[in-house]
Amino acid sequence: MRPDVIDTQMTDTAPADFLEVIVAEDEPITRKRITGMLEGLGYPVRAFANGLEAWESFNQAPVRLIISDWLMPEMDGTELCRRVRAREKTPYTYFILITGQRTEESDYEDAINAGTDDFLAKPTTRESLWRRLRVAKRILAFTQHISQLERLIPICSYCKQIREDEQYWGSIEQYIQTHTSSRFTHSVCPDCFDRVMKELEDEPIVELFPGFSGNFQQTPASAPEPPTGG
């Protein structure tokens, strides 16, 4: 892809307010380079020289995006990712691990098990970083939709309608269709099926079929009159 095309498309990665980035990289030149590329794209950055400093900063004020080197003093990238994932009551953080020397399949498996979302190879280019940011933005938007559905939703105890932020009351179906791409098909669960069938069995037949006499027996047809002689 031509650089001028990439420069135009990079406007798609304009960060939302929550996309502050923590960068953990012990190599000063790489850390400065990544920080400069992120700031050039409009992302506020907190940069640190090792995983421990990055963790302490994250633990005090979590962010939604971390870009971390793999091998660092004090704490490596996979351990940083494990601590981020283990922190309770924290919005989902997209974790990108920078790969250099560690390229064995077992190393990648360990990183994925730790909770890594994506990998970024050294030397890091502006184009490769931009592509990861686009994916991160999409995934974080999706997780935000999920968190909206998981939060405490005000619902009427009687009619089961949901209150929106604008004090508008609507059905559960309307709420989910507005906030997600989900659509509904309606059916009957086994418990409701049994309940409704029992109600039908207990309902007097005359109420189900008005005008019915209450006798299912068919009156036999009269025998035909014998022919009379002429």
**Predicted TM-score (pTM) above 0.95:** no
For the ranges 48-57, 173-182, 199-208, 216-225, the lowest mean pLDDT is seen at: 216-225
Q: Specify the 3-state DSSP secondary structure of 118.
A: strand
pLDDT, tens only, 153-169: 677 766 767 666 666 66
pLDDT at 10: 46
The letter for the amino acid at 108 is Y
Q: What gap in Å lies between CA 161 and CA 200, rounded to an integer?
A: 28
The pLDDT mean for the chain works out to: 77
pLDDT at 151: 59
Please determine, for residue 229, whether its predicted confidence score (pLDDT) is greater than 70: no
pLDDT at 156: 73
Per-position DSSP letters for 15-34, written without gaps between them = PPTT--EEEE-SSHHHHHHH
Residue scoring higher pLDDT (213 or 47):
47
Q: Specify the 3-state DSSP secondary structure of 137.
A: helix
pLDDT at 50: 95
Judged on CB neighbours under 10 Å (0-12, 13-18, 19+), 79 is middle
Q: What gap in Å lies between CA 91 and CA 29, rounded to an integer?
A: 31
pLDDT, tens only, 82-120: 999 999 988 889 999 998 765 678 888 889 999 999 999
Please determine, for residue 174, whether its predicted confidence score (pLDDT) is greater than 80: no
163 — phi, psi (to 5°)?
Answer: -90, 125
Please determine, for residue 7, whether its predicted confidence score (pLDDT) is greater than 70: no
pLDDT at 177: 64
Structural domains in the chain, CATH included, are 3-150 (3.40.50.2300), 156-208 (no CATH)
Pairing of strands 65-69, 21-24: parallel
